[in-house]
Chain A
Amino acid sequence: MLASERDQLKTEIWEMARKYDHHRSGLMPVLQHVQRKYRYISPEAMQESAGAFHIHPVEVYGVVSFYSFLSTKPKGKFIIRLCRTISCEMTGKAVIARQLENDLGITFGETTKDGMFTLEYTNCLGMCDSGPALLVNDEIYTEVTPESVADIIESYVRKFGASVTEEKKHE
């Protein structure tokens, strides 16, 4: 990480922590922000967060490793999360999974070489009445068909640069 990037990260973490009076209850929003913006939570980010909340870095690591939407390894610009829970499985999740792997050229758990897409499974998305369902970052897609998989992927490739992951205020 460049020194300037690290400074930027530090500033962001401390500014957010201040809004929560450096009370630990602000830790999750800070980590969620870092995950969203930097696509993972680096050791540096964990150390800064620990400092900002006056806790040991291992406490922060414990939290990061607990939640499936927080990650210690860099993820793609777009994280595709396919619901694998029963209702979506019954509506043909396996076919969508295969098509995603074919169209992206990666298997589940991997990130494309250009860093654009990460492919993951997730548990119930709450779209059981209109499966198969998947999330691409914050956007939900329902009743996905194998034909529409390529269109979904293409729409994000086109948006490249426009950045759908652009930071929104979520706290």
Chain B
Amino acid sequence: MNDKKTARNEGIILREIDVDAILIKVLKEDREDILREVTDSKLKGRGGAGFSTGRKWSLAAEARSDQKYIICNADEGEPGTFKDRVLLTDYTDALLAGMTIAGYAVGAESGIIYLRGEYVYMIDHIHDRIKNRYENKLLGDNIAGKKGFVFNITVRLGSGAYVCGEETALIESLEGQRGEPRNRPPFPVTCGFMGKPTVVNNVETFITALHILDKGAEWFKKFGTDKSTGTKLFSISGDCAKPGVYEFPLGITVKEVLTHIGARDAKAVQVGGASGRCVAHDEFESTLAFEDISTGGSIIVFGPHRDMLAVARNFMEFFAEESCGQCTPCRYGVEALLEGIEMLEQRKCSMKYLNELLGLCETMQVTSKCGLGQSAPNAFMSILKNFKHEILSRDSAR
């Protein structure tokens, strides 16, 4: 399967590189130098949460243990996100090399790719690439002639649970449990898979780290903003002329993105998928960066004719389905918001109740156990805020 046709604007991540040459070069460096380079680059996790990758690797490297794990989070379930699909199919070797370097840097011998069940059709391809790397001594024992450096990668499948994209739920799933998020702390870097220090990174993060170690942190920092360095992949869908995967420097404005993709008449953009927020026309000058609108890369465009309450309903139905049900604010909260949407559809929602629902949203953000529940109300809140007039003045129940 070739997804390259959808990938545009080659910058850092999508450029052609000699993966194996970079791996061999990096494995000659000291672990400390690798950790310092990644930290200096200010790379933040590309899954959406935005934790410093260098810090994560360093914490895992410092942890003392006989076993450590490198886990690639390929449970790409956020609605509107498909950039990892492209990376997993067309940049597989870069991912495997990135994981190998992470293993070297933190002192881990085992790598696991947690591939979402929906992507099972690409597993043969990934296994082929892994096998090829074993044959070429780029995985296994004494990698690239480096005595004593061992790293193995296996692939494990998910079984259709969005919440398993949350790193501790993912680990639970790998351990054969229900995918229910754990309390944090302890964080996976000290107590993760099997209770051992574990680095969990997004697919794109591993690949970006490989590029940083190829060309250096200073080069990487030339892209993006001071707080959000580098470029990022964006998965773009919805009402636009050219949907697909794009690479843009962080700090780009929503408006610039819309121009690139042919969506000048958009009335709103959902940034960050179901757990992100709806950005209306008056905010199109905002930037896509960790310090402004933070995102794992999902951009869904809504044209002028879209019914925004229907959009809100779709997102809330998604959360009602995917909430793991472990904590009360999330379990009951998403149901209450979905009921509220039904009342709005029937034009039977008082302003007082609507405000109560918005208060509930804040409670969910503060009191839910994991990122799913904390971000579940975002879409509801932002759509109600931006399109209150449209929603309250609906002329008939649809």
Q: Which of A25, A84, A125, A128 contacts B176 (CB 8 A)?
A: A25
The yes or no answer to B348 lying at the interface (CB within 8 A) is no
Q: Is the CB–CB distance between A123 and B77 below 8 Å? A: yes
Residue-wise, chain B 101-122 has the 8 Å CB interface mask toward A (1 for contact) of 0000000000000001111110
Stretch at the interface among A1-9, A59-67, A96-104, A148-156: A59-67
Residue of B whose beta carbon sits closest to that of A168: B124
Interface residues of A in 7-41 (CB under 8 A from B): 24-29, 31-32, 35
Q: Is the CB–CB distance between A126 and B179 below 8 Å? A: no
CB distance from A146 to the nearest CB of B (A): 20
Note all chain B residues with C-beta closer than 8 A to A135: 118
Contacts A123-B321, A124-B80: A68 and B118 contacting too (C-beta < 8 A)? no
CB distance from B370 to the nearest CB of A (A): 15
Stretch at the interface among B38-46, B144-152, B220-228, B233-241: B233-241
Note all chain B residues with C-beta closer than 8 A to A139: 121
Q: Count of chain B residues with Cβ under 8 Å from any Cβ of A? A: 55
The yes or no answer to A70 lying at the interface (CB within 8 A) is yes
Q: Count of chain A residues with Cβ under 8 Å from any Cβ of B? A: 40
Q: Is the CB–CB distance between A90 and B306 below 8 Å? A: yes
Q: Which of B176, B180, B239 contacts A90 (CB 8 A)?
A: B239
The yes or no answer to B174 lying at the interface (CB within 8 A) is yes
Chain B interface, >50% SS class: mixed
Note all chain B residues with C-beta closer than 8 A to A127: 82, 85
The yes or no answer to A47 lying at the interface (CB within 8 A) is no
Contacts A27-B176, A69-B160, A129-B237: A138 and B120 contacting too (C-beta < 8 A)? yes
CB distance from B334 to the nearest CB of A (A): 14
Note all chain A residues with C-beta closer than 8 A to B6: 129
Interface residues of A in 54-95 (CB under 8 A from B): 62-63, 66-70, 84-87, 89-90
Note all chain A residues with C-beta closer than 8 A to B157: 28-29, 32, 170
Q: Is the CB–CB distance between B156 and A128 below 8 Å? A: no
Q: Is the CB–CB distance between B118 and A126 below 8 Å? A: yes
The yes or no answer to A122 lying at the interface (CB within 8 A) is yes
Note all chain A residues with C-beta closer than 8 A to B81: 124, 126, 128
Note all chain A residues with C-beta closer than 8 A to B51: none
Note all chain A residues with C-beta closer than 8 A to B161: 66-68
Contacts A85-B318, A129-B237, A129-B245: A124 and B156 contacting too (C-beta < 8 A)? no
The yes or no answer to B380 lying at the interface (CB within 8 A) is no
Q: Which of B78, B173, B236, B238 contacts A124 (CB 8 A)?
A: B78
Q: Is the CB–CB distance between B321 and A128 below 8 Å? A: no
Residue of B whose beta carbon sits closest to that of A87: B237
CB distance from B120 to the nearest CB of A (A): 5
CA of A35 to CA of B160 in the docked complex: distance in angstroms?
13
Q: Is the CB–CB distance between B79 and A87 below 8 Å? A: yes
Binding site for A on B (CB under 8 A): 6, 76-82, 84-85, 116-121, 123-124, 156-162, 173-180, 194, 235-239, 243-245, 270, 273-274, 300, 306, 311, 314-315, 317-318, 321-322, 324
